[in-house]
Amino acid sequence: MLQQTTVPHALPYFEKFMALWPTVRDLAAAPDERVMAEWAGLGYYSRARNLLKCARVVVSEHGGVFPADEVALLMLPSFGPYTAAAVMSFAFGKAANVVDGNIERIMSRLYAVKTPMPAAKPVLRELAGRWVRDDRARDWPQALMDLASAVCRPKSPLCMLCPLREACAGFAEGNPDIYPLKTARAPKPVRYGVAFLIVSEDSFIVERRPDKGLLGGMLGLPHLDWRDEVWSEDEIVTPLSPSPDASHHPLPQGEGRWVSVGTYDHVFTHFALKQQVWQLELSAQEVSAFLRQHNQYQLLPWADKKALPTVFGKALRLV
């Protein structure tokens, strides 16, 4: 959960997961949809799919016990260099080269590394490796990470409080905050979409998204493709009324009952989305008929709206 996610954001999810599935065996036995629903809002949903895969591999191939071996850990889904080293250190108390963003930042400043990220990563890993020690194998990486978080901060580092100040080449240079150096990144493109909120009584229509790619395995609202140009009203109205394209965007024929309810913004890692929302209220009978024709859709009670990723939860807030 902590991979690229802040502790305050992850903490309530961690508590809930541990209450629902206290052991790796419990998690391995959980239904996929339930795990994905509990992960909703945390982002990077491949982590949830891989976490579940991992639990099942640990049960089927390791007797339900995580191996205390870094190479074996690395073979598990969702385990990369950081997580394998972190588990070796924090869980098993064995010395390991734990290198996260915090420790990368400390090393880049301590040695004033001129190579920009991400090319500097192997360099920073090697530098961090020089500090690995066998005693207090749990405390040492934790201490470095906490030092980075509290003192050697990304912005406005508190160098006057830092125990490494006299050894720090970045401090000696006068501007340790410029490290780690990074290359300019391309601006985020803006894309445009149209989502459809089809409501009946206490529920609305959702679909299970494909297992791979963006929001893979999550529930979502039916929507038109996210593309580089704005959707015109003509283009939107077409799939809402009888047309040859109706099979591609199978939506209920609203007969003028579709209502535009507004637009919202959402920012993903590599693009920003401006999404229109259209709403249609159907009778229970209409919904039943529609769902019979199109089995890719299902009804989700309003009470379960938290199972949606945020990008679609925002559409509900709009209403």
Tell me the residue type at 259: V
Does 310 help bind DNA (rule: CB under 7 A)?
Answer: yes
Q: What phi and psi, each to the nearest 5 degrees, are found at residue 142?
A: -65, -40
Query: How many angstroms from the chain centroid is the CA of residue 290?
Result: 32
CB under 7 A: which stretch of 3-11, 57-65, 238-246, 285-293 binds DNA?
3-11
Does 118 help bind DNA (rule: CB under 7 A)?
Answer: yes
Q: What would you report as the CA-atom Rg of the chain, rounded to the nearest whole angstrom?
A: 24
Does 115 help bind DNA (rule: CB under 7 A)?
Answer: no
Smallest gap from Cβ 310 to DNA, in A, equals 3
Annotate 172-181 with b (16+ C-beta within 10 A) or e (fewer): eeeebeebbe
E strands, 140-237, in order: 190-200, 203-208, 219-220, 223-227
Does 185 help bind DNA (rule: CB under 7 A)?
Answer: yes
Does 8 help bind DNA (rule: CB under 7 A)?
Answer: yes
CB under 7 A: which stretch of 57-65, 71-79, 107-115, 197-205 binds DNA?
71-79
Q: How many CA atoms lie within 13 A of 34 on its CB side?
A: 10
Residue of the chain from 18, 267, 289, 319 that contacts DNA (CB under 7 A) = 267
For DNA, the closer of residues 109 and 240 by Cβ is 109
Does 41 help bind DNA (rule: CB under 7 A)?
Answer: yes
Residues 6 or more apart whose Cβ sits within 8 Å of residue 58: 24, 28, 64, 65, 66, 76
Q: Is 114 helix (H, G, I), strand (E, B) or coil?
A: coil
Smallest gap from Cβ 311 to DNA, in A, equals 4
Residue of the chain from 23, 44, 230, 259 that contacts DNA (CB under 7 A) = 44
Residues 221 to 260: which contact DNA by CB under 7 A?
none
Does 168 help bind DNA (rule: CB under 7 A)?
Answer: no
Task: Give me 74's structure tokens.
Answer: 């690395």
Task: Give me 48's structure tokens.
Answer: 């949830």
Residue of the chain from 28, 42, 113, 277 that contacts DNA (CB under 7 A) = 42
Q: How far apart are CA 28 and CA 82, in angstroms?
A: 23
Q: How far apart are CA 110 and CA 230, in angstroms?
A: 48
Residue of the chain from 182, 227, 306, 317 that contacts DNA (CB under 7 A) = 182
Q: How far apart are CA 218 and CA 39, in angstroms?
A: 9
The secondary structure element, H or E, covering residue 273 is strand 272-281
Smallest gap from Cβ 153 to DNA, in A, equals 8
Residue of the chain from 12, 129, 210, 213 that contacts DNA (CB under 7 A) = 213
For DNA, the closer of residues 151 and 246 by Cβ is 151
Which residues would be at the binding site for DNA (CB under 7 A)? Answer: 2-9, 40-46, 50, 77-84, 100-102, 105, 118-119, 142, 145-146, 148-149, 154-155, 182, 185, 187, 213-216, 266-270, 309-311
